[in-house]
């Protein structure tokens, strides 16, 4: 794993990248990893000269772990970072991180990585490569998410998306989300997928929202902050 940081832009904006070089056969997890995975965590509070750091993720894939579908990555990945230069002190990024790494067994890995600002072409190339892998923002109005007490149903109006679409959900811990009931299907023209789910944080569930990632082949689209609409369970009497 490596942390790289570009020199600040004239307006103070700073870009960086966290490189995770997975060896063949190894896997790590997405932000909402599924029933048995470990979500990554990043703590930049020991950094100097940096404001809050945003970490973004490429589109994930599903992989089997003992009959359970987990969500994450099976190939090396680059995580783009964005932040700002605060004050006049030289920049030093310091991140304390925890990742779940898996082969036959899964183990949590903790590490501290450090980086100073660099104007090198290799750092710029890494940052640009990381940005290319991030899902393209989609129109939130094209997505509906509903919760009936035991399942989350996602519907996406995306007629331009090709065959074999897949949907990934991140509720930031509000819901415990299981493996989808089945592959995504087009119902009444909408890409639809259902997930078993239960409320993990009742306080947040009242005004909850979910981030959605839609993939199909090389296409990846993200929809952030989609409100969750409570609905009656199917077959329930009014």
* pLDDT, tens digit (0-9, with 9 covering 90-100), for 145-163: 999 999 999 999 998 888 8
Using the 3D structure, point to which of 134, 154, 179 is the last residue of a domain.
134
pLDDT digits (tens, 9 = 90+) for 105-129: 888 999 999 999 999 999 999 999 9
Same domain, 96 and 141: no
Same domain, 169 and 142: yes
Using the 3D structure, point to which of 94, 119, 134 is the last residue of a domain.
134
H or E element in which residue 192 lies: strand 190-199
Residue-by-residue DSSP string for 29-94: E-SS--SS----EEE-TT-BSB---EE-----EEEEETTEEEEEESS-EEEEEEEEB-SSSPPEEE
- 3-state SS of 114-141 is EEEEECCHHHHHHHHHHHHCCCEECCHH
* pLDDT surpasses 70 at 238: no
Question: CA 88, CA 48: separation in Å to the nearest integer?
Answer: 10
pLDDT of residue 68: 81
- The average pLDDT across 68-84 equals 94
Number of domains in the chain: 2
Distances (CA, A) of 208 to 71, 96, 226: 21, 29, 8
Q: Over the chain, what is the mean pLDDT?
A: 91
Using alpha carbons, select from 27, 223, 17, 203 the residue that is nearest to residue 113: 17
Same domain, 20 and 118: yes
Structure tokens that stand for 198 in this block? 């239960």
Domain span at residue 120?
Answer: 2-134
Residue 197 lies in a domain: yes
| Torsion region of 217: left, alpha or beta (phi above 0 gives left; psi -120 to 50 gives alpha) | left
- The average pLDDT across 100-108 equals 88
* pLDDT surpasses 60 at 236: no
Same domain, 174 and 122: no
pLDDT of residue 57: 97
Using the 3D structure, point to which of 134, 154, 169 is the last residue of a domain.
134
């Amino acid at each position: 794993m490596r942390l790289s940081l570009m020199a600040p832009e004239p307006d103070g904006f700073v870009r960086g990248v966290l490189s995770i070089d997975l060896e063949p056969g190894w896997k790590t997890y997405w932000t909402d990893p599924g029933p048995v995975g470990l979500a990554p965590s990043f703590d930049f509070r020991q950094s100097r000269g940096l404001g809050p750091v945003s970490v973004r993720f490429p589109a994930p894939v599903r992989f089997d772990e003992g009959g359970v579908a987990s969500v994450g990555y099976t190939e090396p990945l680059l995580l783009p970072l964005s932040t700002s230069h605060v004050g006049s002190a030289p920049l030093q990024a310091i991140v304390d991180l925890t990742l779940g790494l898996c082969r036959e067994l899964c183990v949590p890995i903790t590490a501290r990585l450090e980086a100073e600002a660099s104007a090198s072409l290799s750092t710029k190339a890494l940052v640009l490569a990381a940005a290319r892998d991030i899902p393209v923002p989609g129109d939130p109005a094209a997505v509906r998410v509903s919760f009936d007490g035991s399942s989350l149903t996602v519907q996406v109006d995306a007629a331009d998306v090709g065959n074999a679409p897949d949907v990934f959900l991140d509720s930031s811990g509000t819901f415990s989300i299981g493996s989808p009931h089945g592959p995504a299907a087009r119902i009444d023209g909408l890409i639809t997928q259902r997930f078993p789910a239960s409320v993990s944080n009742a306080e947040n569930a009242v005004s909850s929202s979910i981030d959605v990632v839609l993939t199909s082949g090389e296409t990846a689209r993200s929809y952030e902050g989609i409100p969750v609409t409570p609905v009656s369970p199917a077959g329930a009497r009014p």
